[in-house]
Chain A
Amino acid sequence: MTDQALALESAPARRHRPWLLLLAATWHQTRAKIGLALVALVVGIALVGPFFAPYGPDESVQVDGVFALPFEPPSDAARFGTDELGRDVWSRFLWGGRSVLALSVLSTALGAILGIAFGLAAAYSRGLLDEIFMRTQDVVLAFPQLVFALVLVATVGPETWLLVVAVGITTMPRIARVTRGAAVEVVERDFVRAAESIGVPQRKILFGEILPNIMSPLVVEVTLRLTFNIAVIASLSFLGFGLQPPAADWGLMINENRQGLVAGQPSGVVLPVVAIGLLTIGTSLVGDGFLRAAIGIERGGRRE
């Protein structure tokens, strides 16, 4: 044997980790940039907005010690007018983004964690366990997301944590399916056998060997689910199953200020609707960017 190691035959290593490649390929697209800008704008309003709000979330507008009337048009005291209880629409808008954002992110995260765990376990175990796992998911999937959440909230009561759990659980089977579908093919590859033969614990095989190989489809799916969940959370609030009055919340605001549309003071509805709209458009643009980047990487990856 030669004492010296052979000179390496291949091209110099690129230090880029695979997921960095995905991010870079996503960022190169205009749609992703626009999407990210929209998301940043809305998230920025939700996070920083309260510091710039002229009034508290539940504070009534007073001009010279006199309380403002409901649905007053924009004035110096209330830039976007007042709502149905004479509160400042602008301030409530600035305060009301946090809950929508936090609830949708939390519920999507919960759904993703559960879904990935179930999907991976199903793909790896195959056989009976696979059937049991995936049919359980099918049962959950049979309920429309909104109906399932409504049933839970109507039974237990409008609790915030319950909202997260309900939306999270209904998100789970969709992510589980994508996870399983992608993982089934990876499970068959020899590096999984190699790990088994030396006794790597199952948990490490699932999350250390298989999961990194299915990140691209998962990132795409989770972003898509987030987009949907924003709408679901907003809808639940609108229907009165989310945060309860007098809390400031975009979904709730739309409901409360419905009459403003006829009373000639539409800003209480328009502001949250536009914000939610921009947020969902933004996340779906980013998700679409991920999807295109992932496909591009799969196609181009063979060249190396």
Chain B
Amino acid sequence: MTSASALEVERLRVELEGEGIDIVDEVSFHVDAGEVLGLVGESGSGKTTVGLAVLGHTRRGARVTSGDVRIEGRSILALDRLERQGLRGKLVSYVPQDPAAALNPALRIGKQLDETLSEHGFGASGEERRARITEALGEVLLPSDDAFLRRYPHQLSGGQQQRVALAMAFANRPRVIVLDEPTTGLDVTTQAHVLVTVQELCRAHGVAALYVSHDLAVVATLCLQVAVMYAGRIVEIGPTSLLFRGSAHPYARRLVEAIPELSGAHALVGIPGSAPRPGNRPQGCFFAPRCSYAVERCRVEFPPVARVSQDHEVRCWEHDHVLADALAARTAAVPLPEIKAHDALVAIRGLDASHGARQVLFGVDVVVRPQECVALVGESGSGKTTLARCIAGLHTNYEGEITFRGRPLRAGARRRDRETRREIQYVFQSPYTSLNPRKTIGQIIGQPISLFYDMGGREMRARAVEVLETVQLGGSVLERYPHHLSGGERQRVAIARALVANPQLLICDEVTSALDVSVQAAIVDLLAELQRELGLGLLFVTHNLALIRTIAQEVVVMSDGRIVERGASDAVLFAPQAEYTMRLLSDTPSLEAALAASG
């Protein structure tokens, strides 16, 4: 079977067991040897379900009910459980999102790699396997000396762990490999290395790879072909450059518009509403309720696959109209307000902070002026969150001076007066942990109101509704619990909880990193707008350089607890001085750069 692609998926349908509700359906694609296909979609779109189905696996409670998965012409789904198990790791392998969870913490690296090989009968002797291990580790640029092989997973960094997982996946020279968001938890620099490694390995060994990701910039950098999933269907599939320059599906288009760009030339536009869940999907096209191109037919009939050009297919009734609209019609970014000379709102001078005995900040100076947004960027471990927490009074182990409106700020929120606590508000990274699951939204928003303001029940409720409306939620959420809301809605509630106190300074700690791109765009847009309207000082902590231009006038770049560069956003992004900033910029995956490179 030389003519067949290495991986072929045909009309795959996965259902929730017993309920007959489909999670994904009508999924067809193929990947040739040596190619990488990007499978993109937001959370809940079914991309991981498809990725697992390629291994002949489904999550508990799900079942493949029809369709076929063929690897080199051999149907995986026709095999029984044991035969499939025998193939995994050998013919087809998997690299999960979290390498720390994939490696056995109790086994040494060498032992784990050896097991992968011996399990599939690779090599006749320990020496042969050892030679293969050396080779496999070399391919992912890791050492293979005894000292390294004797290490346990926790003794490696996140990037090294992911490389070991990659080496393991490639160890048996599989024909097909499924990578499920393997770089999500990694820093940009590490991510860039891992991406290059994946690309080279696939090309060198003729492995067909399915790269599952929500990050379009990464996919654009890595993959020549991309498939966009929405609500369990592939809505568009085609060459990356074609698809991102002029996609024929409205959803793919909106997704591209939601990606932040380093240049910040375009406004970030979120997609209102959210994808329908299995069992909740409307009649007709699933995107129709959120689509601006939708016509009557879209609400009645599900669109069939239409061929736009060679290799470029789309499921949209109106794709001719969509294609006719040039992508250049994107909204230009609203220029950020100029900062007039002001006294500092918050000024940090010579801040040294420690976690226990380990010092994490070294002589840091940062100033945020009223109505100004300062972006604090750096990789994980750079100390940016510690700095933010010192200001918020959540981290007290520091020396140095923090002044707020000219007055020194005491260490620890409890030692500050009520007004100060009201004027500095903090929004946390993950809305999944920052809202008490046992309290209603009304109680959550009501807490700061009752602490800072003397209000009766009815007045309080009115104020809560008012602030919920400024974050584009309504009073109808008051009685709900956090688990009734989507991630984006929860983050809006968290922002509302901060705004209800009428703060002067809002600290946003990686507020979009737990959210989908379309939701991230909407949240960043909301924050930028609130900052303009309410005249807030904003300290925007992020690891995503691409967000900066959209929201911040000033940037502070941190590395290993020290500030390596600071200045106006434009200056830092377009003419970086520090070597570290340059490296960070070149490692940040960018859709623009990827498209420019592809010509």
Q: Which residues of A approach B to under 8 Å, CB–CB?
A: 1-2, 5-11, 13-15, 18, 189-191, 193-200, 209, 212-213, 215, 301, 304
Contacts and interface: CB of A to CB of B under 8 A. Distances in A.
Nearest to B418: A199
Interface in B242-271: none
Contacts of A191: 433-436
Contacts of B479: 13, 15
Contacts of A197: 392-394, 413, 421, 424-426
Contact of A194 (B426, B469, B474): B426
B439 A196 contact: no
A190 B498 CA distance: 14
A9 B439 CA distance: 20
Nearest to B436: A191
Per DSSP, chain A at the interface is loop
A1 B433 CA distance: 27
4 residue pairs, one from A and one from B, having the closest CB atoms: A5-B474, A212-B438, A190-B434, A9-B274
Nearest to B490: A10
Contacts of A2: 472
Contacts of A215: 438
A5 B467 CA distance: 11
Interface residues of B, number: 54
11 contacts: A2-B472, A6-B272, A9-B485, A10-B489, A13-B484, A18-B481, A193-B426, A198-B421, A198-B452, A209-B436, A212-B436
Given A18-B481, A200-B451, A9 B414 contact: no
Contacts of B497: 194
B379 to A, nearest CB: 21
Interface string B441-467: 000000110011000000000000000
Contact of B273 (A5, A9, A195, A213): A9
Contacts of A212: 436, 438-439
A301 B437 CA distance: 11
B378 interface: no
A199 B472 contact: no
B472 A5 contact: yes
A192 B497 CA distance: 14
Given A2-B472, A8-B473, A10-B489, A198 B448 contact: yes
Tell which of A6, A195, A198, A199 has the most Cβ of chain B within 10 Å.
A198
Contact of A190 (B430, B448, B451): B430
Given A198-B413, A212-B439, A14 B473 contact: no
Contacts of A190: 428-430, 433-434
A189 B274 contact: no
B125 interface: no
A196 to B, nearest CB: 6
B477 interface: yes
B414 A199 contact: yes
B447 A200 contact: yes
A252 B280 CA distance: 64
A186 to B, nearest CB: 9
B394 A196 contact: yes
Contacts of A189: 433-434
Nearest to B451: A198
B428 A193 contact: yes
Interface of B: 272-274, 277, 280, 392-394, 413-414, 416, 418, 421-422, 424-426, 428-430, 433-439, 447-448, 451-452, 468-470, 472-474, 476-477, 479-481, 483-486, 488-489, 494, 497, 501, 526, 529, 533
Contacts of A15: 479
Nearest to B488: A9
B286 to A, nearest CB: 14
Contacts of A301: 483
A120 B433 CA distance: 19
Contacts of A14: 484
Contacts of A196: 393-394, 413-414
Contacts of A1: 470, 472, 526, 529, 533
Contacts of B486: 9-10
Tell which of B430, B447, B533 has the most Cβ of chain A within 10 Å.
B447
A18 B481 CA distance: 9
Contacts of A6: 272-273, 472-474
Contact of B483 (A7, A198, A209, A304): A304
Given A2-B472, A9-B274, A212-B439, A195 B434 contact: no
Nearest to A193: B394
B438 A194 contact: no
A143 to B, nearest CB: 35
B396 to A, nearest CB: 11
B411 to A, nearest CB: 13
Nearest to B492: A6
Nearest to B483: A304
A6 B469 CA distance: 9
Nearest to B289: A7
B433 A8 contact: no
B511 to A, nearest CB: 12
Nearest to B274: A9
A283 to B, nearest CB: 26
A301 B438 CA distance: 13
A5 B421 contact: no
A248 to B, nearest CB: 44
Nearest to B485: A10
Given A6-B472, A10-B489, A301-B483, A194 B414 contact: no
A51 to B, nearest CB: 42
A209 B434 CA distance: 11
A10 to B, nearest CB: 5
Contacts of A200: 447, 451
B438 A199 contact: no
A290 B429 CA distance: 34
B413 A8 contact: no
A40 to B, nearest CB: 29
Contacts of B421: 197-199
A5 B468 contact: yes
A127 B426 CA distance: 26
Given A8-B476, A193-B394, A198 B489 contact: no
B519 to A, nearest CB: 10
B273 A7 contact: yes
A189 B437 CA distance: 11
A148 B390 CA distance: 48
Contacts of A194: 426, 428, 434, 494, 497
Contacts of B425: 197-198
A186 B487 CA distance: 20
A32 B479 CA distance: 30
